Amino acid sequence: MRDFGGIGMRDRGSIRMRDFGGIVLRSPARVVRPRSAAEVVDAVREAAADGLDAVPRGLGHSTFGQSLTTGVSLDMRGLAGVREVGGRHAAVGAGTSWREVLAATLPHGLTPPVLTDHLDVTVGGTVSAGGIGGTSHVHGTQADNVLALEVVAGGRAVTCSPAERPELFDAVRGGLGGHGVITAATLRLVPAPERVLSCTIPCRSAGDLLRVQREVRAEHISGQVKPSEGGGWRFEAKAVLYGDGGAPPPGTAETERLAYADFADRMRPDVAELVALGEWARPHPWGMVFLPAPRAAAVIGATLAEMAPDDLGLSGVILVKALRDGTVLFSVLRTASPGCASVAEMLAANRRLLDRARAAGGTRYAVDSTG
Ligand SMILES: Cc1cc2nc3c(=O)[nH]c(=O)nc-3n(C[C@H](O)[C@H](O)[C@H](O)COP(=O)(O)OP(=O)(O)OC[C@H]3O[C@@H](n4cnc5c(N)ncnc54)[C@H](O)[C@@H]3O)c2cc1C
């Protein structure tokens, strides 16, 4: 092992790393686990001296090698930790997971305004991607709710915010690590409800699902497309009202009252089941595209018309989420399960989805597998 001055580095030249996608594999020249911004500066400088890229990696939940490298892999979990929860903000290390952020803020009655469906992804990883959740129609992305960042760029650690180095602040949010390594973040917080009312609203079509998302007033709203028993697809919106007072929106077929903490962590039982079934470890060729609102229903309809459930895999999921600016995120989250379509077929379908999205004026979500 090389001596890197005792800053928590491990030489792993022979290890092959994968991400949640499980499609791209890379052997980093070495893995470094910096524990401070200064150690990130040193690691990036060392990498450059050796002619290597330094690529930050959070929890590796992107799906097409975005967090992988043959150079130096910076394991940002060395920078996990909530440093402070103040009046309406939290100061956290970039490698902190959203689960860890929420665990620290809830005792103060506070929550980040936007949470991803899965909480085991890092602040640095989602701010570098965008970070969309069921509240994004109100609050925008997680990247929109960052007050300030500490970033290693140009050989030193600097702070940036809308008022200080705004160009750097804008470049690193959604920049996939290409404009600097985020080492810490100050996050906006809002009051957390104690309980929520989750309302399931069956919809007739993609257009109806989008209409419900536009018209229903709910703090958290999402849409899902599921295989229908008689063949074809069925559509379902989930409108989640915060607090105890709200009446279910028109069209509600089922309701469920939940503690907010359980609602935020609602994927946990499904993840445990998928891990037990082996589905969590299978390749995940995920197609995720942003669509302009007026063309969204047509693109979703055309994509579903050429798909069968086997094209999605045994545990695949299709999500539809209308965002604050009217854009629609259409996510075809495929799992290459045994007996279903192959990884190559799923990637080809993702490319067709991206072509269709681009023809409609859309674009890809950069952490997917259409690239
Ligand atoms: C089960 C599951 C559910 C998901 N749900 C959602 C969801 O609801 N909404 C949503 O928007 N996304 C969702 N995603 C996608 C996920 O949020 C992104 O892939 C996110 O980037 C993952 O965070 P990570 O910590 O694993 O990042 P990684 O995959 O490790 O990294 C992602 C990218 O960010 C870069 N990066 C990582 N850390 C830093 C840093 N500190 N500084 C600069 N660059 C960095 C990496 O180099 C890479 O390019 C989900 C993914 C999975 C697997």
Q: What is the pTM of this model?
A: 0.95
Could you tell me if the CB of 62 is within 6 A of ligand 1?
yes
Which residue, judged by its Cα, is nearest atom 27 of ligand 1? 125
**Are residues 277 and 180 both part of a single domain?**
no
- The CATH number of the domain where 271 resides is what? 3.40.462.10
Averaged pLDDT, 158-179 = 97
Q: Is residue 156 part of a domain?
A: yes
Q: Is residue 275 part of a domain?
A: yes
Residue appearing with tokens 């086997």: 310
**Are residues 178 and 133 both part of a single domain?**
yes
What is the 287 CA–ligand 1 centroid distance (Å)?
Answer: 15
Q: Is residue 4 part of a domain?
A: no
Q: What is the C-alpha to C-alpha distance for residues 228 and 226, in angstroms, rounded to an integer?
A: 6
Question: 264 is written with which tokens?
Answer: 């935020």
**Residue 28, phi then psi, degrees to nearest 5:** -70, 145
Residue 6, pLDDT > 90, answer: no
Domain count, the chain: 3
Question: What is the widest separation between alpha-carbon atoms in the chain?
Answer: 65
Residue 142, pLDDT > 70, answer: yes
Q: Which helix (H) or strand (E) holds 301?
A: helix 293-305
Q: Is residue 2 part of a domain?
A: no
| Separation of CA 293 from chain center | 21
Could you tell me if the CB of 367 is within 6 A of ligand 1?
yes
**Are residues 180 and 233 both part of a single domain?**
no
**Are residues 209 and 344 both part of a single domain?**
yes
| DSSP track, 224-275 | EEEE-TTSSEEEEEEEEEESS-PPPPTT--EEEEEEHHHHHTTTHHHHHHHH
pLDDT, one tens digit per residue, over 183-225 is 999 999 999 999 999 999 999 999 999 999 999 999 999 999 9
pLDDT, one tens digit per residue, over 269-296 is 999 999 999 999 999 999 999 999 999 9
Could you tell me if the CB of 61 is within 6 A of ligand 1?
yes
**Are residues 235 and 354 both part of a single domain?**
yes
Question: 196 is written with which tokens?
Answer: 């929520």
The whole-number pLDDT of residue 15 equals: 87
Predicted confidence band of residue 13 (pLDDT cuts 50, 70, 90): low
> In the predicted model, what is the mean pLDDT of the chain?
95
**Are residues 129 and 236 both part of a single domain?**
no
**Are residues 202 and 187 both part of a single domain?**
no
Q: Is residue 122 part of a domain?
A: yes
Q: Is residue 206 part of a domain?
A: yes
Chosen domain end from 77, 93, 124? 77
Averaged pLDDT, 156-176 = 98
What is the 55 CA–ligand 1 centroid distance (Å)?
Answer: 13
Mutation test residue for ligand 1: of 121, 136, 282, the one with most atoms within 8 Å of CB: 121
Range of the domain at 285: 195-364
Q: Is residue 301 part of a domain?
A: yes
**Are residues 117 and 252 both part of a single domain?**
no
Could you tell me if the CB of 77 is within 6 A of ligand 1?
no
**Are residues 173 and 90 both part of a single domain?**
yes
**Are residues 273 and 142 both part of a single domain?**
no
- The CATH number of the domain where 157 resides is what? 3.30.465.10
- The CATH number of the domain where 39 resides is what? 3.30.43.10
**Are residues 128 and 216 both part of a single domain?**
no
CA 79 to ligand 1: nearest atom: 41
Could you tell me if the CB of 184 is within 6 A of ligand 1?
no
**Are residues 99 and 73 both part of a single domain?**
no
Could you tell me if the CB of 179 is within 6 A of ligand 1?
no
Q: What is the C-alpha to C-alpha distance for residues 33 and 39, in angstroms, rounded to an integer?
A: 9
Could you tell me if the CB of 65 is within 6 A of ligand 1?
no
Q: Is residue 310 part of a domain?
A: yes
Percent residues over pLDDT 90 in the chain? 93
Q: What is the C-alpha to C-alpha distance for residues 236 and 321, in angstroms, rounded to an integer?
A: 11
Question: 326 is written with which tokens?
Answer: 């009217």
Closest CA to 125 of 62, 203, 71: 62
Could you tell me if the CB of 131 is within 6 A of ligand 1?
yes
